[in-house]
Amino acid sequence: MSSVTYEVLAVRYGVLAARKSDLYYRYESYGEPDAEASMAYYFWVLRGGGATILVDTGFDPEAAARRGRTCLVPPLDALAELGIAPGDVSAIVVTHLHYDHTGNLHAFPSAQLVVPSRELEFWSGPHAGRGQFAPHAEQGDIDYVTQAVAQGRVRATEGTEEIFDGVVAVSVGGHSAGQQVTVVDAGAGPVVLTSDAVHLYEELELDRPFAVMHDLEQMYAAYDFVKELARSRRAVVVPGHDPDVFVRHGGDDTETNRVAVQIA
């Protein structure tokens, strides 16, 4: 048990209408008819021990518009609605360097960034620019994080590390080279913010990998890791893009004015 426990909020700021065949890797292999499906876009807020920590920062509304994503509320406005000013945020856990998790970092110039070292390595390496990887990141965001490393503002994590009292970061890979899962002590038990290690509940329930992946074996292993936390520690699992997160935690699945639900 840690001495600090956290309130955990999921902030929903965007939505995307899609089809199952867009969301699941080789969907045709399941022999089921295609169907409509949707995704939601979230980032997460941890409040505990007097600190406010963000897990990711959502997408930049301008980048999202260019990519055809619907922004329900700009992430920084959502934070303002929750009474959180950028200066209140002491640290940002950046789970991976895809554009919908790294937008808006520039609004937090004094926050410490926690980033998996494998992500830093990959996105500055020889394959980041390849056709199946590059579209998922914004070069401006990658450059910003690289500058932050040079400024000594980045804590690079390896494997499993307790990054704050009551917050453990686990780099699982799979979806992205160093994709990180964040395990938070919420008092009653752990909350697992999977970010994009698991986008949708069905990935776990039906054992179906998501369409965007770096390494299939690691993606399956990440599902096992998350399911084991749910089984052995009764952890609450929060997928990174499932609209149902709002339903299961007291919100709803329609476009309301509500920007956040309390997970714990």
Quote the tokens at residue 237. Answer: 């699992």
- Closer by beta carbon to Zn ion, 12 or else 98: 98
Q: Taking the complex as a whole, how short is the minimal distance between the CB of residue 176 and Zn ion, in angstroms?
A: 6
Q: Taking the complex as a whole, how short is the minimal distance between the CB of residue 218 and Zn ion, in angstroms?
A: 14
Q: Taking the complex as a whole, how short is the minimal distance between the CB of residue 52 and Zn ion, in angstroms?
A: 24
38: phi then psi, degrees, rounded to nearest 5: -140, 160
Q: Using CA atoms, how far apart are residues 176 and 10, in angstroms rounded to an integer?
A: 21
Quote the tokens at residue 141. Answer: 């965001």
- Closer by beta carbon to Zn ion, 84 or else 212: 212
Q: What are the DSSP E strand ranges found in 172-252?
A: 180-185, 190-195, 236-239
- Closer by beta carbon to Zn ion, 164 or else 210: 210
Helix (H) or strand (E) holding 110: none
Give residues in contact with Zn ion (CB under 5 A): 98, 196
- Closer by beta carbon to Zn ion, 20 or else 98: 98
Quote the tokens at residue 6. Answer: 């956290």
Q: Taking the complex as a whole, how short is the minimal distance between the CB of residue 196 and Zn ion, in angstroms?
A: 4
- Closer by beta carbon to Zn ion, 48 or else 96: 96
Q: Taking the complex as a whole, how short is the minimal distance between the CB of residue 212 and Zn ion, in angstroms?
A: 6
Q: Using CA atoms, how far apart are residues 26 and 168, in angstroms rounded to an integer?
A: 32
> Residue for token digits 């070069």?
139
